[in-house]
């Protein structure tokens, strides 16, 4: 192993150790008497000092040395950690980090040897020494031997490190020395803690030489899962290869579907399973707990809080929540900014807090959790909350919104204005925040990786910023469409639904608003964007002829606005491996990347946001989007989506949309009778049709209603296809009204069977159907098999 | 012996060009290409090079030469640029030639425009001149006017 390799290992190791130091020092401030933590801090600095002496980084060694001296006193209980000491020690950590960077780039430990820092550290140590003198002569006696203990330990500690850097031999020869030294140590007054501590380096050494634990673990007593260090580039390469494998598998599956060969099909099935599993596992190797970036926040919070004279405690929930490496990297800066912001602006000064009847120390809570294939990260403070009036005033001043908009906007919309560029309501500009850059950058960065940011706040109670981000970006599900003869992939996250208009519906379905095509989607106008026009593609005559004039609309969501993308053909959904576009094509904002399809050809991935911007669906200023977004976001809370329909006698009824599989319309002629049960043939199955009018009919009329065949001259029947307990059935209703989102919290108990409760949806009383009860009442299973339905119904 | 270097040569509109051999990854026949709408005109499309997606740059367009006659297939000279592999579309592949530094001359002052930035100079071969192409410059798209405005 060459010198540079040793230095490289030293750097990697030291960076990790320094990160841990940050955490431990901040932790120590809270519990200054934690001897284990102190010992660990001491060891870390000691290791760095020892190694850089060995490698000839003298300036670094000097700085580490004074830090170590101070730590020796702390460890031996001659000094107690106080904020001043912590700040000095953290300053030393920063200095060491700076020098390591210097070493990394130049190979030397830099010109600066931090005389002031060293002076401070020495002074603090002297303060401690004089304090110790006053404390009593027996303590003083401890002063002389303790540095020697430090030195002896320095030697043994050096050897702990060297096996990791590949110098196993000296470690082995040195080992007995360390053990031999032990008998000398009891003479030192700090002896009571020594045996345990001196045992540790030896233990660590054994592990090292055995090659079990490649890094000198500072706390060997903690159970450590067996891990090995793997270079990130190896993981990236693995990921690429798995991506290739997934592609090859897709190709294989396509081929095997066209070939009648059971052997081939069995193999490709197996291959499919293995590839899927492998993909999952490799993805896992790139997953990192979010705690990795959170771990630096205690330090950040401490520094910022100290800087503005505040007291802030940080709490973390869901540290173990895992995210893809690339995403972790991408959200690090935005999160740091949000945390700093919360401390700087959110949490009040201690005196103000007391006045407001809160604890002196503010609370900052970080939460992370999975939800619906996404990761939610919340940053909550119990500070003063956002001042809606001030934001409104500022927005008016800056001309971000006009007076009329300002009057119309809800509190929540106003809050979200803080994400606009150049918007800061901080009264004074601090070195941390208040310069008007930041929140918009946070938003932009989060959106870049397909995430969203939202802020909620209660005056006087605090603020919560919620960041939602996808789990991974490397392999995503996407819808593949064809346009102008080429395929394009649309990330599934932006996809809402697909609408197909047959040729005869196109005329009345697509309307024009002064030339701009729109489609009425459940009563709302959906702006239509023609992909071929936006991409300036040549019209594919062949495809146009093939589609018989039918129009395929892909309903997409971009920045909280919806639009319909008209494409030639909708192919299928596929898991695609995202490959970024090269520099030459980066400026084309309509594409997010490229991918290789099953047949080996390249397809472009559409950037829905970029496309929407190109098509001017989203104005460049976000005002309109923002307004609508805020309204929706406020309303979306605890909202459910319901399908509204008219039941018998035009009564308003609803079911949760989640229970619905499809909406269908059958001509009466397709309805057949099976016993007294209406059935229809649907997708190669017999679909029992439950008539709501029968279910809800008064008992005496039930039989008559039940036996009635469909009136032959009536129009097509509207059927809700539902899945319940793994079986499908159709619910015949009068008319489908709408799909609405509503909180549905005004409820009253049911007035008749098969109804769960009555509820106010869209300001009208609506009955919520009880689907299991309907099925029981209709007894679908019995009637299908032709068993005494009638008697069952009568008995009801 | 003088310093020599090897060049991979190719033809564009009957002109002889060369790129340093060590910058060339491979030379392949024409591949299926996916066009990139809205991209600069010099970008012919994307090709799948054994799982790696590579941008194909039409050198004729890049060097402001006449467009390639319809029906002729281009060859791909895949070169390594700072930003990964890029495929340069050329008419025909020539030999690998070894030249001495002494035969090199910078381009004449009369060569102007964007083309000048891409041509480092010429090597005077026995029977003709070989234009030495700057791979990085040829792969850069920044100074290329786009066919359409970039959507924002």
Written in H, E and C, the secondary structure of A566-578 is EECEEEEEEEEEC
Contact between B48 and A535 using a beta-carbon 8 Å cutoff: no
User: Which is it for the CA torsion A198, A203, A209, A212, positive or negative?
Assistant: negative
Q: Are residues A423 and A483 in the same domain?
A: no
Contact between A582 and B84 using a beta-carbon 8 Å cutoff: yes
Q: Pick from A398, A448, A432: which is nearest to A418 by CA?
A: A398
Q: For residue B38, give the nearest of A484, A536, A582 by CB distance.
A: A536
Spell out which residues of chain A touch residue B36, defining contact as CB-CB under 8 Å.
Answer: 585, 588, 591, 604
Number of residues written out for chain B: 152
Q: How confident is the model at residue B9 (pLDDT cuts 50, 70, 90)?
A: very high
Q: What is the pLDDT of residue A190?
A: 39
Instruction: Evaluate whether residue B146 is within a structural domain.
Output: no
Instruction: Evaluate whether residue B147 is within a structural domain.
Output: no
- Order of strands, sheet of B84-90, starting from the edge strand that comes earlier in the sequence: B24-28, B75-81, B84-90, B52-58, B43-49
Instruction: Evaluate whether residue A226 is within a structural domain.
Output: no
Q: Are strands A764-769 and A510-513 parallel, antiparallel or unpaired?
A: unpaired
Contact B113, B98 (CB under 8 A): no
Instruction: Evaluate whether residue A227 is within a structural domain.
Output: no
Q: Could you tell me the CA-to-CA distances from A170 to A163, A207, A262, A550 in Å, in that order?
A: 8, 15, 62, 79
**Residue A427 exposure: Cα atoms within 13 Å on the Cβ side:** 4
Q: Are residues A522 and A666 in the same domain?
A: no
Contact B48, B31 (CB under 8 A): yes
Q: Pick from A498, A493, A468: which is nearest to A478 by CA?
A: A493
Contact between B151 and A611 using a beta-carbon 8 Å cutoff: yes
Q: Are residues A436 and A417 in the same domain?
A: yes
Q: For residue A602, give the nearest of B34, B140, B151 by CB distance.
A: B34
DSSP class of A344? I
Instruction: Evaluate whether residue B151 is within a structural domain.
Output: no
Q: Could you tell me the CA-to-CA distances from A612 to A181, A289, A558, A706, B105 in Å, in that order?
A: 73, 34, 7, 52, 51
Q: Are strands A462-470 and A671-674 parallel, antiparallel or unpaired?
A: unpaired
Say whether residue B39 is in contact with chain A using an 8 A CB cutoff: yes
A-interface mutation test, from B48, B49, B76, most A Cβ less than 10 A away: B48
Query: Can you give the CATH number for the domain in which B54 is found?
Result: 2.40.50.180
Query: Can you give the CATH number for the domain in which A368 is found?
Result: 3.30.565.10
Q: Are residues A372 and A520 in the same domain?
A: no
Burial class (CB in 10 A: 0-12, 13-18, 19+), A394: middle
Q: What burial letters (b/e) apply to A479-510, b meaning 16+ CB within 10 Å?
A: bbbbbbebbbbbbeebbeeebebeeeeeeebb
**Tally of domains within chain B:** 1
Q: Nearest C-alpha of chain A: how many angstroms from B30?
A: 13
Q: For residue A601, give the nearest of B32, B55, B148 by CB distance.
A: B32
Contact A390, A396 (CB under 8 A): no
Last residue of a domain, one of A617, A636, A655: A636
Instruction: Evaluate whether residue B132 is within a structural domain.
Output: yes
Spell out which residues of chain B touch residue A582, defining contact as CB-CB under 8 Å.
Answer: 54-55, 83-84, 86
Q: Are residues A727 and A619 in the same domain?
A: no
Query: What number of other Cβ atoms are within 10 A of residue A538's Cβ?
Result: 10
Q: Pick from A487, A454, A490, A484: which is nearest to A469 by CA?
A: A454
A622/A641 Cα distance (integer angstroms): 26
Q: What is the residue range of A421's domain?
A: 289-470
Give the rounded percent of residues in chain B with a pLDDT score beyond 70: 91
- The runs of H, that is alpha helices, within A136-144 are 137-141
Per-position DSSP letters for A460-510, written without gaps between them: TTEEEEEEEEES-SSEEEEEEEEETTEEEEEEGGGEEEEEEE-HHHHHHHE
Q: Name the β-bridge partners of A677.
A: A674
Contact B78, B135 (CB under 8 A): no
Contact A365, A317 (CB under 8 A): yes
Q: What is the dihedral of CA A346, A351, A356, A360, to 10 degrees?
A: 70
**pLDDT tens, position by position, B115-126:** 888 889 999 988
Q: Name the β-bridge partners of A573.
A: A479
- Order of strands, sheet of A591-596, starting from the edge strand that comes earlier in the sequence: A569-577, A475-483, A486-491, A602-606, A591-596
Q: Are residues A606 and A722 in the same domain?
A: no
Q: What is the pLDDT of residue A424?
A: 58
**pLDDT tens, position by position, B46-105:** 998 877 788 999 998 888 888 888 888 889 999 988 878 899 999 999 999 999 888 888
Query: Can you give the CATH number for the domain in which A571 is found?
Result: 2.40.50.180
Contact between B55 and A584 using a beta-carbon 8 Å cutoff: yes
Q: For residue A244, give the nearest of B35, B51, B151 by CB distance.
A: B51
pLDDT at B10 over 90: yes
Q: Are residues A306 and A281 in the same domain?
A: no
**Tally of domains within chain A:** 5
Instruction: Evaluate whether residue B144 is within a structural domain.
Output: no
Instruction: Evaluate whether residue A584 is within a structural domain.
Output: yes
Instruction: Evaluate whether residue A218 is within a structural domain.
Output: no
Q: Are residues A491 and A448 in the same domain?
A: no
Closest residue, chain B, to A586 (C-alpha): B39
Percent of residues in chain A assigned helix, strand, coil, to nearest 5: 50, 25, 25
Q: What is the pLDDT of residue A509?
A: 80
**Mean pLDDT of the B8-19 span:** 91
Instruction: Evaluate whether residue A349 is within a structural domain.
Output: yes
B107/A509 Cα distance (integer angstroms): 63
Q: Are residues A690 and A724 in the same domain?
A: yes
Contact between A588 and B38 using a beta-carbon 8 Å cutoff: yes
Instruction: Evaluate whether residue A250 is within a structural domain.
Output: yes
Instruction: Evaluate whether residue A216 is within a structural domain.
Output: no
Helices (H) and strands (E) in chain B, counts: 3, 11
Query: Strand, coil or helix: what is A36?
Result: helix
Phi, psi angle pair for A639, to nearest 5°: -90, 150
Which residues 6+ apart lie within 8 Å of A271 measured at CB?
Answer: A249, A252
Q: Are residues A72 and A15 in the same domain?
A: yes
Q: Pick from A467, A368, A332: which is nearest to A19 by CA?
A: A332
Spell out which residues of chain A touch residue B53, defining contact as CB-CB under 8 Å.
Answer: 579, 594-596, 602
A-interface mutation test, from B31, B32, B33, B34, most A Cβ less than 10 A away: B34
Contact A366, A316 (CB under 8 A): yes
DSSP class of A153? H
Interface residue ranges in chain A relative to chain B, Cβ cutoff 8 Å: 240, 243-244, 247, 484, 486, 534-537, 579, 581-585, 587-591, 594-596, 600-604, 610-611, 613-615, 620
Say whether residue B36 is in contact with chain A using an 8 A CB cutoff: yes
Q: What is the pLDDT of residue B96?
A: 92
Q: Are residues A655 and A506 in the same domain?
A: no
Percent of residues in chain B assigned helix, strand, coil, to nearest 5: 15, 45, 40
Q: What is the pLDDT of residue A701?
A: 62
Mean pLDDT of chain B: 83
Closest residue, chain A, to B36 (C-alpha): A604
Q: Are residues A686 and A753 in the same domain?
A: yes
Q: What is the residue range of B85's domain?
A: 4-139
Query: Strand, coil or helix: what is B126?
Result: coil
Query: Can you give the CATH number for the domain in which A256 is found?
Result: 1.10.287
Residues in chain A with pLDDT < 50?
131-223, 428-437, 620-637, 781-796
Spell out which residues of chain B touch residue A579, defining contact as CB-CB under 8 Å.
Answer: 53
Interface of B with A in 54-73 (CB under 8 A): 54-55, 57
Q: Which helix (H) or strand (E) holds A664?
A: strand A660-666
């Amino acid at each position: 192993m060459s010198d540079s390799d040793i230095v490289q290992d030293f750097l990697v190791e030291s960076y990790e150790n320094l990160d841990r130091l940050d955490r431990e020092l901040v932790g120590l401030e809270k519990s200054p008497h934690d001897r284990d933590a102190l010992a660990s801090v001491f060891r870390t600095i000691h290791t760095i000092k020892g190694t850089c002496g060995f490698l000839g980084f003298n300036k670094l060694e000097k700085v580490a040395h004074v830090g170590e001296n101070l730590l020796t006193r702390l460890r031996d209980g001659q000094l107690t950690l106080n904020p001043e000491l912590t700040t000095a020690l953290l300053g030393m950590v920063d200095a060491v980090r700076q020098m390591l960077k210097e070493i990394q780039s130049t190979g030397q430990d830099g010109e600066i040897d931090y005389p002031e820092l060293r002076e401070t550290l020495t002074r603090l140590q002297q303060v401690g020494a004089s304090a110790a003198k006053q404390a009593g002569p027996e303590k003083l006696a401890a002063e002389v031997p303790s540095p020697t203990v430090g030195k002896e330990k320095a030697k043994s500690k050096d050897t702990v490190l060297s096996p990791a850097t590949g110098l196993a031999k000296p470690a082995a020869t040195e080992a007995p020395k360390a053990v031999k030294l032990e008998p000398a140590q009891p003479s030192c007054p700090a002896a009571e803690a020594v045996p345990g501590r001196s045992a540790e380096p030896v233990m660590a050494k054994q592990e090292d030489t055995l090659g079990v634990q490649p890094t000198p673990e500072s706390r060997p007593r903690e159970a450590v899962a067996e891990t090995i260090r793997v270079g990130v580039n190896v993981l990236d390469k693995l990921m690429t290869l798995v991506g290739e494998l997934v592609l090859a598998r897709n190709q294989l599956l396509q081929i095997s579907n066209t070939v009648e060969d059971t052997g081939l099909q069995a193999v490709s099935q197996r291959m499919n399973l293995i590839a899927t599993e492998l993909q999952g596992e490799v993805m896992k190797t790139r997953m990192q707990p979010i705690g990795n970036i959170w771990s630096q926040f205690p330090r950040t919070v401490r520094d910022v809080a100290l800087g503005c004279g505040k007291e802030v405690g940080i709490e973390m929930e869901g540290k173990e929540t895992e995210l893809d490496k690339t995403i972790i990297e991408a959200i690090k800066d935005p999160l740091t900014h949000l945390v700093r912001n919360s401390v700087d602006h959110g949490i009040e000064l201690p005196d103000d807090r007391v006045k407001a009847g809160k604890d002196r120390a503010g609370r900052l809570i970080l939460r992370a959790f999975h939800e619906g294939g996404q990761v939610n990260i919340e940053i909550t403070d119990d500070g003063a909350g956002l001042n809606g009036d001030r934001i409104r005033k500022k927005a008016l001043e800056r001309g971000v919104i006009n007076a009329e908009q300002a009057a119309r906007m809800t509190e929540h919309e106003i809050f979200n204005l803080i994400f606009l560029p150049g918007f800061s309501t901080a009264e004074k500009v601090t070195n941390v925040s208040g310069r008007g850059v930041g929140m918009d950058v946070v938003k932009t960065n989060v959106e870049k990786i397909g995430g969203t940011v939202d802020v909620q706040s209660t005056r006087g109670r605090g603020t919560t910023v919620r960041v939602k981000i996808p789990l991974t970006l490397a392999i995503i599900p996407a819808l593949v469409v064809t346009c102008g003869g080429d395929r394009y992939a649309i990330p599934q996250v932006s996809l809402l639904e697909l609408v197909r208009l047959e040729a005869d519906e196109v005329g009345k379905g697509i309307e024009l608003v002064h030339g701009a095509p729109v489609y009425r989607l459940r009563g709302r106008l959906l702006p239509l964007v023609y992909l071929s026009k936006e991409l300036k593609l040549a019209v594919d005559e062949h495809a146009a002829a093939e589609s018989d004039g039918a129009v395929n609309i892909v309903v997409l969501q971009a920045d909280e606005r919806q639009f319909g993308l008209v494409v030639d053909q909708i192919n299928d959904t596929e898991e695609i491996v995202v490959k970024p576009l090269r520099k030459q094509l980066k400026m084309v904002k309509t594409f997010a990347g490229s991918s290789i399809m099953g047949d080996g050809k390249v397809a472009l991935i559409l950037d829905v946001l970029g496309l929407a911007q190109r098509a001017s669906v989203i104005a460049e200023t976000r005002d309109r989007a923002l307004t609508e977004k805020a309204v929706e976001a406020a309303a979306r809370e605890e909202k459910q989506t319901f399908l509204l329909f008219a039941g018998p006698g035009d009564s308003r009824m609803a079911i949760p949309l989640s229970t619905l599989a499809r909406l269908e319309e059958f001509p009466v002629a397709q309805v057949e009778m099976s016993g007294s049960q209406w059935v229809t043939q649907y997708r190669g199955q017999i679909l029992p049709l439950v008539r709501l009018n029968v279910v809800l009919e008064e008992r005496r009329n039930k039989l008559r209603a039940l036996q009635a065949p469909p009136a032959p001259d009536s129009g097509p029947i509207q059927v809700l296809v539902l899945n319940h307990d793994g079986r499908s059935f159709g619910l015949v209703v009068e008319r489908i009204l709408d799909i609405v989102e509503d909180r549905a919290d005004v409820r009253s108990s049911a007035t008749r069977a098969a109804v769960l409760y009555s509820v106010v949806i869209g300001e009208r009383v609506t009955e919520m159907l009880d689907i299991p009860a309907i099925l029981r009442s209709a007894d679908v299973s019995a009637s299908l098999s032709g068993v005494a339905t009638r008697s069952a119904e009568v008995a009801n | 012996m003088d310093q020599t270097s090897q060049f991979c040569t190719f033809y564009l509109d009957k002109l002889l060009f060369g790129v340093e051999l060590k910058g060339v990854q491979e030379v392949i026949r024409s591949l299926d290409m996916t066009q990139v709408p809205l991209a600069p005109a010099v970008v012919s499309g994307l090709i799948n090079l054994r799982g790696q997606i590579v941008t194909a740059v039409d050198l004729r367009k890049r060097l402001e030469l006449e467009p390639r006659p319809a029906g002729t297939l281009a060859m791909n000279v895949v070169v390594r640029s700072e930003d990964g592999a890029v495929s340069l579309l050329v008419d025909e592949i020539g030999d690998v030639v070894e030249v001495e530094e002494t035969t090199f001359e910078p381009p004449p002052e009369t060569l102007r425009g964007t083309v000048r930035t891409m041509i480092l100079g010429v090597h005077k071969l026995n029977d003709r001149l070989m234009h030495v192409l700057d791979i990085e410059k040829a792969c850069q798209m920044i100074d290329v006017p786009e066919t359409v405005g970039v959507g924002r």
